[in-house]
C-alpha cells in the first residue's frame, strides 16, 4: 500500500530538530557568559518549535496535515467529529440527506463498538467514516508513546472495519494534537491526517449564532469544515450543522467526499 504520509520529509524535519537542539546547547556554553540573552533564545528555540508542532492544531511540523483540497467548483468537505451517538446521529443523517450533502464522520472507536449499527447506517447513507482514535484521549495524546498511539489508532480502525467492512483512510486526532510517534504509526497504516480550514468551536456557547458565523467565514471552494456530533452542547452542535447546511445550499456549495487517492496529497 502506498502510504499518504510523507515519511522522508517528516523524518528530515525531526533530524533537523535534533541537530538544532545540539547546536543550541553548545551555544549556551559558548555564548552564555558574553551574550546571555542571545544564548537563552537559541537554547529554547528547538523546544518551542517542538511544543508548537505537538500542541497547536493544524500544524505540519511533525505530521503532514491536509487543510484544504483542490476543488473543481463550489465544493467543500464537511467533517463531523465525536460520534456516533443514538441521540443525535440519526437526525443529523436526515439533515444531510435533505440537502444532498455528504460528510466524513470522524468516529470514536469505543462509540462504534457500542453502536455498530450507527456506523453501518452512516456508511449506508453514503458517507465516509474516519478514525478519531479509540477513546478520544484529549488530555494525554500529546505525550502518548508509540504503543499507546498505535492502540488508539488500531482500536478505532478495527471497530470501523468490523462494523462496515471498510477500512478508514483518514485520521484526525482529538483537537488536532500530535505526538512524536504519530507520523510513523499513520504511515505504516496508510492513513492521512485530515485537518481543517475552518471550525465552529461550539463548546461553551448556549446558542449557535457565534460558532456558525465563525465557521462560515472560512467557507470557500476547497475548504475542509470541522463540526461535531454529540458530546457537550449537543443541541447547539446540531443547530450549527443545520445552519451550515442551509448556508451552503443558499450559496450554491456542494458537500462532497474526498475522491479515491486524495489522501496522498496535501495543501
Tell me if residue 85 is catalytic. no
The one catalytic residue among 127, 228, 229, 262: 228
Q: Look at the chain and report how many structural domains it folds into.
A: 2
Domain that holds residue 191: 65-258
| 122 assigned to some structural domain | yes
Active-site residue identified among 81, 82, 229, 262 = 81
Shared domain check, 210 and 151: yes
160 located within any domain: yes
- Domain membership of residue 42 (yes or no) is yes
pTM (predicted TM-score): 0.83
Q: Is 96 inside any structural domain?
A: yes
Question: Residue 87: which region, alpha, beta or left (left: phi > 0; alpha: psi -120 to 50)?
Answer: alpha
**209 and 118 co-located in one domain:** yes
Q: Are residues 86 and 215 in the same domain?
A: yes
pLDDT for 153-211, tens place per residue?
Answer: 999 999 999 999 999 999 999 999 999 999 999 999 999 999 999 999 888 889 999 99
Residues 98 and 223 in one domain: yes
Catalytic, 81? Answer: yes
Amino acid 3: pLDDT: 44
Last residue of a domain, one of 19, 36, 55: 55
Statement to judge: residues 219 and 102 lie in one domain: yes
> In terms of domains, do 191 and 122 share one?
yes
Amino acid at each position: 500500500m502506498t502510504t499518504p504520509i510523507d515519511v522522508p520529509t517528516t523524518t528530515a524535519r525531526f533530524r533537523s530538530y535534533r541537530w538544532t537542539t545540539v547546536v543550541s546547547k553548545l551555544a549556551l556554553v559558548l555564548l552564555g557568559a558574553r551574550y546571555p540573552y542571545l544564548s537563552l533564545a537559541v537554547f529554547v528555540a528547538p523546544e518551542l518549535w517542538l511544543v508548537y508542532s505537538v500542541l497547536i492544531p493544524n500544524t505540519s511540523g511533525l505530521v503532514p496535515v491536509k487543510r484544504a483540497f483542490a476543488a473543481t467548483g463550489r465544493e467543500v468537505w464537511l467533517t463531523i467529529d465525536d460520534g456516533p451517538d443514538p441521540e443525535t446521529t440519526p437526525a443529523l443523517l436526515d439533515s444531510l440527506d435533505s440537502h444532498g450533502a455528504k460528510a466524513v464522520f470522524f468516529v470514536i472507536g469505543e462509540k462504534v463498538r457500542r453502536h455498530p449499527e450507527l456506523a453501518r447506517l452512516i456508511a449506508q447513507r453514503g458517507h465516509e467514516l474516519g478514525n478519531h482514535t479509540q477513546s478520544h484521549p484529549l488530555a494525554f495524546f500529546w505525550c502518548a508513546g508509540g504503543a499507546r498511539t498505535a492502540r488508539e489508532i488500531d482500536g478505532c480502525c478495527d471497530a470501523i472495519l468490523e462494523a462496515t467492512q471498510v477500512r478508514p483512510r483518514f485520521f484526525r486526532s482529538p483537537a488536532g494534537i500530535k505526538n512524536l510517534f504519530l507520523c510513523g504509526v499513520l504511515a505504516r497504516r496508510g492513513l492521512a491526517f485530515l485537518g481543517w480550514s475552518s471550525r465552529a468551536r461550539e463548546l461553551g456557547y448556549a446558542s449557535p449564532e457565534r460558532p456558525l458565523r465563525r465557521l462560515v467565514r472560512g467557507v470557500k471552494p476547497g475548504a475542509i469544515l470541522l463540526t461535531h456530533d454529540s458530546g457537550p452542547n449537543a443541541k447547539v452542535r446540531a443547530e450549527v450543522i443545520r445552519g451550515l447546511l442551509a448556508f451552503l445550499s443558499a450559496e450554491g456549495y456542494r458537500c462532497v467526499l474526498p475522491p479515491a487517492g486524495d489522501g496522498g496529497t496535501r495543501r
